[in-house]
Structure 1
Amino acid sequence: MEFSVKSGSPEKQRSACIVAGVYEPRRLSPVAEQLDKISEGYISALLRRGDLEGKPGQVLLLHHVPNVLSERVLLVGCGKERDLDERQYRQIIEKTIATLNDTGSMEAVCFLPELHVKARGTYWKVRQAVETTLDSLYTFNQLKSNPSEVRRPLRRLVFNVSTRRELALGEKAIAHGVAISTGVQYAKDLANLPANICNPVYLAEQAETLAEHPHVKFSKVDEAQMQQLGMNSYLAVGRGSANESVMSVVEYCPPGLESQPPIVLVGKGLTFDSGGISIKPSAGMDEMKYDMGGAASVFGTMQALIQLELPLHVIGVLAGCENMPSGHAYRPGDVLTTMSGQTVEVLNTDAEGRLVLCDALTYVERYEPDVVIDIATLTGACIIALGHQTSGLMTPHNPLAHEILSAAEQSGDKTWRLPLGDEYDEQLQSNFADFANVGGRPAGSITAGCFLSHFTKKYTWAHLDIAGTAWQSGRAKGATGRPVPLLTQFLLNKAGIELED
């Protein structure tokens, strides 16, 4: 898919299609008004006849509009102008792309970035249009023997901006949007693979491909090394599986930044989670291939970072493991000594992600990081709290919370901060170890965050629970690639990249 930006009037556009907005009720946007004037009232006559009201989701594709050089004009309903917000703007773009792709318009000039969206400027509108377009066109056909193909797919999209002064902003928005979307696609592809293909070794092999870039180094920690390091908690989780546990480390460091304390991203990589001996119900268990969504998002974010070539020192850790029941599996009641030396009583083997992450979080102390963010499909309780729209954020560090929430607001990749008080720690008390790995049903997401906080005292840390946002179920089943947009925006901000909004 090719994107570009230009500034020009609609009467001069010679393209397969021009895209313009219509507000409710039957009110033309400025670009649609120009097209109506050129066509001597042709468009307004159609609207008066009732062909388009302008409601969100409505479209009207016109062929050979009088005096218009382009073959087609696509009118898109935008709702009431004063109500046009970020979510509705993305939905308008999504409907536009679906229509263009289904009707054989292989290229189009899109004037929708000229719409007025509350508190958003050209950079945001163009970037969101790019990201929404590529997300809408994504398909996972790698494993189909005869994948279906669109006969005349959309291949080129030109975004028109109001003035030539905005061209540079538009070009920057396209570059950022394409890099983020590429990272999202990498994360989706990895997460959508089944567990009989994507196991911890495969995860490591994919991470190693990132080292083809000259600023990237790859290393891995296998089970023998984990044994030497005392990563007994991590090892216990993978003990029931025939697939070896492997932790992958991808380090991106442009020349001259070697002494810069790194930003470390740690992704939970349970390539399949059966629950272990505390086995999950069979219904929906196929979706537990998505329990490596955190690792997939770190992989995708590292890809976006490399493509953007940001001046940052960043380390991505993919904590690959598989949780299976067998005669070798760890059991409820076992007491594990973690890499940190702290002991954990296992009350539920399906609370395994935190047992993998706690050793990974201890391991990254060696990098003396500036900040550590772990990303994990950690708790079903987070879905109960925040649904499938918003990721959960926990951190004891207010400035870091502000940075992440700001990046979420900028990127549209929503998150919400949950409390992380000492009073929740009481639920993790154990008679036989320093603490237990679960704290009961109340505040399940928060007690999981409290558990992880015991292993992050030596650096600034935040935890993102993406259990509700990493994938979709039902007819639209598939990975979302979240929170790659949030994490990449966080890195853009850390790099001091100035954005318009």
Structure 2
Amino acid sequence: MDFTASAAQLLNIKADSLILPTGPQLKDSADALDKSLDGAISSLIKAGDFSGSSGETLVMHIPGVSGKRIILLGTAGANSQQQQIKVIGAGAAALLKTPSVKAVWVGEGLSDDSEWQAGIVARSIQAASYQYAPVPKSVKKSKPKKLKNLTYWAPSKADATAAKKGLIYGAAVGNGMNAARQLGNLPANICTPSFIAAEAKALTKGQASSRAKSRAKVSTSVLSEAQMRKLKMGSLLSVSAGSVEPGHLIVIKYQGTKASTKPVVLVGKAVTFDTGGISLKPGGGMDEMKYDMCGGASVIGVINALIETQMAVNVVAIIPAVENMPNGNATKPGDVVTSMSGQTIEVLNTDAEGRLILCDALTYAERFKPDTVIDIATLTGAVISALGKVTAGLLSNDDQLAEQLLSSGTRSGDRAWRLPLYEEYDELLKSNFADIANIGGPQAGTITAACFLARFTKKYKWAHLDVAGTAWLSGAAKGSTGRPVPILMDYLRSKAG
């Protein structure tokens, strides 16, 4: 899929489809195009066939012009970035339903920020192009069946130059989302901890084959259970103990700028299947527990996007990958394990396993002397009760970092909402038999889970994204969403030199 930007005469650009964002009042290019078509667009509006309301689409077939069809895309009422992103998504979906090979997107009628808008257009088209591949080729980019080229038309050369940057960035983010979605959608008998480790290594191999074209350095290492045992990662290993699938700690280093620049560390939870362990989950809906690795999948998606953009930032991705199963070796409720930090943990519920693998990974992150650390996890059902399937839960020990992530969420449309880390919540984690219990009772489950993680993040700036409500959809639309790749990429872009 090729994305280009142009400020040439709009009617001289040959394409199968032209996407025209407009409200009921035709302005600028929409007005000029209507006049060239003898009022065909305004006639449809007057007849009530197209109202121009936000996200509305109408396909006009125009014989005898360079474009075979015009897709009218309603913009009325789309005043916020979130609304504008939804409008663009509707336009992308409408375009891909047509047999278009070449298309033109008119960069007017929504935002005045050409770079941002072009980025959302490219991201939306790539994301809408995703097709699940049952053959496990998870990092392979999704390709539209027919659409091969999209030209983003801008009203000036300056806007076109800005749009080119946005298209490159947006396409990479969309591809990163699709890589994360593909990993998340694979069944757990294929997408095991070892499979994820192999995919992470494939990133390095792919980068090595294109080394001449890239400046970033990417390397992957995978720690075995024996190596983790030497590091005294007793908490992480207590989760993998019940599975025949060995656990792994996957470390991907992306160096896009000078080595002396402190990295952002992304820690992604990857429980490739979560039965709950001895604290067994109910059977209904358990098939969706293959999505409990979407935190790790999103981190791999981010690395994909970084490689594609060659972003000037240093990132270390840490993915603790395990399977949580019940057997004779499995950790039992009431067991006490020792984390890499030396803190002891009373495991009151083996279905609160994500925090047990994350805490050792967060301790391991200290060795990279990070600028910031962000962990991403499908951690609690409580976050769905609090925020639904709309926004991720955000908790942080640093106000500035939290505000930066909230801003990135707004700008990318991949929003988060901050919850508190008050001491009163932390007190709920007291244990009579260990330094800390792994659950804090029935109240404020998302917050107490983050309070648990905060015990292991005192040496750096840290934020936690609970994406249990946003990482996948259920029902007829069942599937991984690729979130939170957009918010993470926007944050990293703000850090890039």
Q: Normalized against structure 1, the TM-score is what? A: 0.92
The Cα of 1:42 is off from its aligned counterpart by 3.0
Residues 460 and 103 of structure 1: is their aligned pair in 2 closer, same or farther, counting only changes over 3 Å?
closer
2:129 and 2:144 in contact (8 A); partners too: no
- Paired with 1:6 and 1:221, the residues of 2 have a C-alpha distance of 48
CA deviations 1:290-319 (Å, max 9, x no partner) are 101111111111111122222222111111
Q: One-letter code of the match for 2:115?
A: Y
CA deviations 1:97-142 (Å, max 9, x no partner) are 333322312221111x21134xx51111111111111111211033
CA deviations 1:312-344 (Å, max 9, x no partner) are 221111110010011111000101111111111
1:131 to 102, 115, 123: 123
1:36 and 1:43 in contact (8 A); partners too: yes
Q: 1:94 aligned to 2:95?
A: no
2:114 and 2:160 in contact (8 A); partners too: no
1:65 and 1:73 in contact (8 A); partners too: no
Structure 2 residue aligned with 1:14: 14
1:35 to 23, 33, 36: 33
CA deviations 1:427-486 (Å, max 9, x no partner) are 111111111100012111110011011111122211111111111111111111111111
1:104 and 1:151 in contact (8 A); partners too: no
The Cα of 1:151 is off from its aligned counterpart by 10
Structure 2 residue aligned with 1:262: 263
Residues 232 and 100 of structure 1: is their aligned pair in 2 closer, same or farther, counting only changes over 3 Å?
same
Structure 2 residue aligned with 1:115: 109
- Paired with 1:309 and 1:235, the residues of 2 have a C-alpha distance of 35
- Paired with 2:164 and 2:271, the residues of 1 have a C-alpha distance of 38
Structure 2 residue aligned with 1:228: 230
3-state SS, counterpart of residue 269 of structure 2: strand
Structure 1 residue aligned with 2:220: 218
More moved, 481-490 vs 68-77 = 68-77
1:297 and 1:484 in contact (8 A); partners too: yes
1:10 and 1:34 in contact (8 A); partners too: no
2:10 and 2:153 in contact (8 A); partners too: no
Q: One-letter code of the match for 1:401?
A: A
Q: One-letter code of the match for 1:435?
A: I
Residues 307 and 331 of structure 1: is their aligned pair in 2 closer, same or farther, counting only changes over 3 Å?
same
Residues 203 and 7 of structure 1: is their aligned pair in 2 closer, same or farther, counting only changes over 3 Å?
same
Residues 263 and 76 of structure 1: is their aligned pair in 2 closer, same or farther, counting only changes over 3 Å?
closer
More moved, 261-270 vs 41-50 = 41-50
3-state SS, counterpart of residue 114 of structure 1: coil
2:198 to 181, 193, 205: 205
- Paired with 1:254 and 1:49, the residues of 2 have a C-alpha distance of 55
Could you list the runs of 5+ residues in structure 2 that have no partner in the other structure? 137-141, 209-216
Percent of aligned pairs sharing the same letter? 46
The Cα of 1:57 is off from its aligned counterpart by 4.1
Could you list the runs of 5+ residues in structure 1 that have no partner in the other structure? 497-501
Residues 100 and 459 of structure 1: is their aligned pair in 2 closer, same or farther, counting only changes over 3 Å?
closer
Structure 2 residue aligned with 1:499: none
The Cα of 1:383 is off from its aligned counterpart by 0.9
Structure 1 residue aligned with 2:163: 170
1:46 to 44, 68, 85: 44
Structure 1 residue aligned with 2:213: none
The Cα of 1:205 is off from its aligned counterpart by 0.7
More moved, 4-13 vs 426-435 = 4-13
3-state SS, counterpart of residue 15 of structure 1: coil
Q: 1:59 aligned to 2:57?
A: yes
- Paired with 2:481 and 2:361, the residues of 1 have a C-alpha distance of 24
Residues 178 and 46 of structure 1: is their aligned pair in 2 closer, same or farther, counting only changes over 3 Å?
closer
Q: One-letter code of the match for 1:479?
A: S
1:102 and 1:150 in contact (8 A); partners too: no
Count of aligned residue pairs for this structure pair: 483
Q: 1:466 aligned to 2:460?
A: no
Q: 1:186 aligned to 2:179?
A: yes
2:129 and 2:143 in contact (8 A); partners too: no
